[in-house]
Structure 1
Amino acid sequence: MDLEAVRTFVAVVEAGQFQKAAADLSITQQAVSKRIATLERTLGVRLFTRAPRGAELTIDGQAFLPHARELLLVVERAGASVRPGHRPLRVDVITSRSAQSNLMRGFHRAHPDVDLTVMMLLDIETAVTALRSGAIDASFRAVTAPGRVLPEGIESVRVLDEPLHLLIGPDHALADARSVTLAQLVGHRIWMPGIAPGTEWGAYYDDLVAEFDLTIEATGPNFGSDALLDTIADTPALATFMGAHTRLIWPADHGLRRIPVTDPTPVYPHSLLWHRDNPHPALVSLRTHLAAMTAEQEATGTWTPDWAAPR
């Protein structure tokens, strides 16, 4: 359906005359007549009858009018949804319980006036495509993973180094430890079914395994964090890694322990990605907020892959 014809139809209804509608739309009366004729052919009905006082709606025209007005409202809302300054700031995070989500909650508390939409895309390729198209304004990722070069126009800055913790059940051999070194984890089974091949976090854990001779198993279906916590609590031989800032809640009788990993401390390098030509005014506020939040991070005694973006 030709939306300009619909707009012209509503203008004629409001003006009451083809000639006045033409003046309101800054087009000729002939153009108005052609648009109305096109719309009538599309719908297969007459919308107006000529009367001494101007154009009057037929019964079909009266039935179509509220829908025509709604169509124009939908068009306006659709345009506003992607117009910078008139739509929410759209930011991609990996999961809703991650450190990235915590950063966005902090930003929202500091800037409650910013209309914000948080979304979760699967991988860096999807995120970069969305950044280039303008579908999202920013994305948290670990860049640059092996074999990946950010496309022209995509900027990144490392904003958070998140230490890893070991999560184990009460009967695990390391359950009483206050901290564990990476060397102590050699030979222990670390189960992480959420690792997806080809993702940047998959590349991160591949390098961690290769560097420190660890055993990380990604076998079995990923039923989510609740099922993972249940299994870790019930299986003394299993452990898993989780970020120090990841927010998880489990039943008290699980008896799970979160133990810092040291010597060195593996940290996950979260970076913020955006397109340099993105004009959304709140994007500058987000970058400024993150820079202030992470300026004093301590980086000594930590490990990241060689490919991690520099600080």
Structure 2
Amino acid sequence: MDLDIVRTFVAAAGAGQFQQAAAELAVTQQAVSKRVAALERELGVRLFARTPRGAELTIDGQAFLPHARELLRVAERAVASVRAGGRPLRVDVIASRLAASGLMRGFHRAYPEIELDVVMLLEIDRAVAAIRSGAIDASFRAVAAPGRPLPEDIAAVRVLDEPLQLLTGPAHALAGARSVPLAGLAGHRIWMPGIAPGTEWAAYYDDLADEFGLTVEATGPNFGSDALLDTIADTPALATFMGEHTRLVWPAGHGLRRIPVTDPTPVYPHSLLWHRDDSHPALATLRAHLAVATAGHPTPETWAPDWVIPHRSPY
């Protein structure tokens, strides 16, 4: 049903005269008459009765009027739902306890008036597909893993280099260290269940292990962070890596230690991805916020794989 015709009918019903409705709609009276006649043909009923005072609604016209008004309201809501700034900004943070979630919490504190939808997509392929389809506006990822370049319509900027720390139980050989050099981890078992082949973090830890001779194990089922913490606390032979901004809580009796890794410090490179044609105004606000909130560049004492995108703007 043509919404311009429905809008004309509602205007004529409210004015009681085709001439006044024409003035309100900035069209000719003849155009109003043609539109009303077309609507009457489509519905198969008369909507107006001509009178000396103008045009009065018939019984059918009175029955149709509230539905016509609702049609126009629905159309307005539909347009508003996709109008720039008219819907929440949808951002993928991968998981709730990782650094990207903290970055978005900081953004929400800085801009509480901006509506947000936070989603969690595990695979980068799924996240990129969601960006390209318009299902989400942005995603935090480490890009680009070897042999997996981003599509040309996806932009990315590196926003945060997160230092890795060693997490040990109280009986681990390194538990008492104030810091540990990266080379000093050779020979120790780093246990990281849940590293899925083909993910960007799998590529990251593969390169880290190869370059520094580390033993990074992903054996066994992934029962989640609580089970990982329980095992690290109870097993002196195992340690794990944890991002400096990862938020995990464990019982005080676990006695876990978070130990800085140095010389160099491995950093996990978080980047923000978005579609180059995405016009949501809050997306530009988010990028500007991250540029300020995470300002800083890596020093020679940090390490990241050579395949990650460099510290420069993609614009």
TM-score range, shorter chain: 0.7 to 0.9
CA RMSD of aligned residues (A): 3.5
- Partner Cα separation in structure 1 for residue 259 and residue 73 of structure 2: 55
Q: Does 1:90 align with 2:83?
A: no
Classify 1:256/1:85 alpha carbon distance in 2 versus 1 (closer, same or farther; 3 Å).
Answer: same
Structure 2 residue aligned with 1:180: 180
User: How has the CA–CA distance of structure 1 residues 191 and 10 changed in structure 2, closer, same or farther, with 3 Å as cutoff?
Assistant: farther
Q: Does 1:197 align with 2:197?
A: yes
Q: Deviations over 1:253-296 (max 9, x none)?
A: 11111111122211101112223332222222222222222333
Cα deviation 1:115-139 (Å, max 9, x = unaligned): 2222222222222223233332222
| Alignment partner, residue 290 of structure 1 | 290
Which ranges of structure 1 fall in alignment gaps of 5 or more residues? none
2:232 counterpart residue number: 232
TM-score (norm 2): 0.78
- What amino acid is aligned across from residue 188 of structure 1 in structure 2? H
Q: Which amino acid aligns with 1:307?
A: W
CA contact (8 A) 1:81 1:87 kept: yes
Question: Does the CA contact (< 8 Å) of 1:13 and 1:57 recur in 2?
Answer: no
In 1: Cα distance, 2:214 partner to 2:96 partner:
28
Task: Give the percent of matched residue pairs that are identical in Structure 1 and Structure 2.
Answer: 64
Q: Does the C-alpha gap of structure 1 residues 217 and 133 become closer, same or farther in structure 2, counting only changes over 3 Å? A: same
Shift of 1:106: 1.8
1:221 corresponds to 2:221: yes
Task: Report what 1:248 is aligned to.
Answer: 248
Q: Within 1, Cα distance between the matches of 2:129 and 2:233?
A: 39
User: Can you give the 5+ residue segments of structure 2 that lack an aligned partner in the other structure?
Assistant: none
The answer on whether the counterparts of 1:170 and 1:256 sit within 8 Å (CA) in structure 2 is yes
Q: Conserved in 2, the CA contact under 8 Å of 1:18 and 1:33? A: no
Partner SS state of residue 163, structure 1: strand
In structure 2, the partner of 1:104 is 104
User: Is contact 1:5-1:35 (8 Å) kept?
Assistant: no
CA–CA separation in structure 2 for the residues paired with 1:136 and 1:188: 40
2:146 — aligned with what? 146
Deviations 1:155-180 (A, max 9, x none): 22211111111112122222212222
The question of whether the paired residues in 2 share the 8 Å contact of 1:10 and 1:69 is answered with: no
**Residues 3 and 205 of structure 1: is their aligned pair in 2 closer, same or farther, counting only changes over 3 Å?**
farther
Cα deviations across residues 135-160 of structure 1 (Å, max 9, x unaligned)? Answer: 32222111111112222232222111
SS of equivalent to 1:150: coil
Q: 1:186 to 1:56 in 2, by over 3 A?
A: farther
1:8-157 to structure 2, matched below 5 A, reads 11=10, 73=73, 75-157=75-157
Contact 1:91 1:139 in 2 (8 A): yes
Contact 2:233 2:255 in 1 (8 A): yes
Moved more, 162-171 or 293-302: 293-302
Closer, same or farther: CA 11–198 of 1 in aligned 2, 3 Å: farther
Q: Which residue in 2 is equivalent to 1:269?
A: 269
Taking the aligned partners of 1:303 and 1:161, their CA distance within structure 2 comes to 10
Partner Cα distance (1:199, 1:108) in 2: 28
**Is the CA contact 2:6–2:39 (under 8 Å) kept in the aligned structure 1?**
no
Check conservation: 2:8, 2:32, Cα contact below 8 A.
Answer: no
CA distance in 2, matches of 1:240, 1:13: 72
CA distance in 1, matches of 2:146, 2:103: 26
Count of residues paired in the alignment: 303
1:162 aligns with 2:162: yes
Secondary structure in 1 aligned to 2:270?
strand
| Change in 2 beyond 3 A, CA 1:120/1:13 | farther
Report the alpha carbon displacement of residue 249 of structure 1 after superposing the two structures with TM.
Answer: 1.1
Greater Cα radius of gyration, structure 1 or 2: 2
Q: Which amino acid aligns with 2:93?
A: V
Equivalent-residue separation in structure 1 for 2:9 and 2:194 (angstroms): 53
